[in-house]
Structure 1
Amino acid sequence: MGSGSFLKVLAKNFDVLAGPLVSLAYPLYASVRAIETKSQVDDQQWLTYWVLYSFITLFELTFAPILEWLPFWPYGKLFFNCWLVFPCFNGAAYVYEHFARPMFVNRQIVNIWYVPRKEKLSKSDDVLSAAEKYIELNGPEAFEKLISKSTSTKPSKFRSTRRSILQEAEAEKMGKAERDSWGENPFYDKNYRH
């Protein structure tokens, strides 16, 4: 009976007993060994581990009242520390390579305070900017043709007129691309504006 109850106590308090061994004793030993070697890989592993360990400790100190209500927290922390510490996983090196290093090497700065401003443009501003773009791409003559075709149709056929304007713009682009594919015309100067 005595040994059975001892095993039960040991099983219930496994996290309390294994935690310091996994989180402190072995990492301290491995860190001292890493200092004595010339390899940078183990230095990186253990420096990263100690940074992560300090973050976990700060997290626990900050949210202690909440974490007391979570019965799985000590076991989750123990498993996470095992993943960080054990050489077969090298979790700390993984965290460094995939999260910390890209942030410091690439200097990716994330501005969490930036909120893009929504500019509300009136309908006339949208139309004007679209017209300016069309003139830049196709020239003023094509725009005048487009306007003359749209004003010659009846206003009651607004939807079909709008489609014909879009179709006409597409046809103009295709015609321009076809003319450009023919090669250079010695009688046509692209830079000449009327």
Structure 2
Amino acid sequence: MDLLNQKLKPLSPLADKVPQLKQLAQNFGVESGVLLGAGLLVTLLITFILFGATILTLTITVLYPAFKSIQALETESATDDKEWLTYWIIFGLFNLIDDVFGCILNFIPYWYWVKLGFFIYLLAPQTRGAQFLYNAFVKDLLEKNKSKIEGLINDVQGSVKDVASEAKKAAAEQLNDPNNFRKAAQLAASANAELSKAE
């Protein structure tokens, strides 16, 4: 117990700022830093139990590849850039499929671990899974449907421009409507009256 007290003593000044924690530590006859350390450890343990799988997955599938992608951008070689760009393409396509068919795929036993294994296969330098899947399936599919994809992108861009134009036109009409100015003036007068009553 003395060793634990010594190791966690640096936390004591922080823990002493909480009177209840300081009193509890005195009741147990330990440094308040020990209780703070125990509380942090329990919180970390609960977080890992509840969200550990998500944290592990995000670390393996997003943080590590993002770090490697940044490293690849800093090198002169285009090979590693292509490798990580390919990973992100497959990653995005897989997540799209998982979002669309997730309600069905989640019925597969151990689906979560299958997904995690799949992502490890994609990014492992020994397997080069992302490059294999891209070259075997995605590349041909994209080349065959290039004009359809470009048409869809143009349609979406056109629709967004139309919606923005209509919203701008409606906003201009609302700004030019004198009734809206009267309503705004009435609301402001009402708010001022309420403020005057409150003072």
Name the TM-score, length of structure 2 as normaliser: 0.43
Higher relative contact order (CA closer than 8 Å, sequence separation 6+): 1
Larger Rg: 1
Q: Larger helix proportion, structure 1 or 2?
A: 2
Name the TM-score, length of structure 1 as normaliser: 0.44
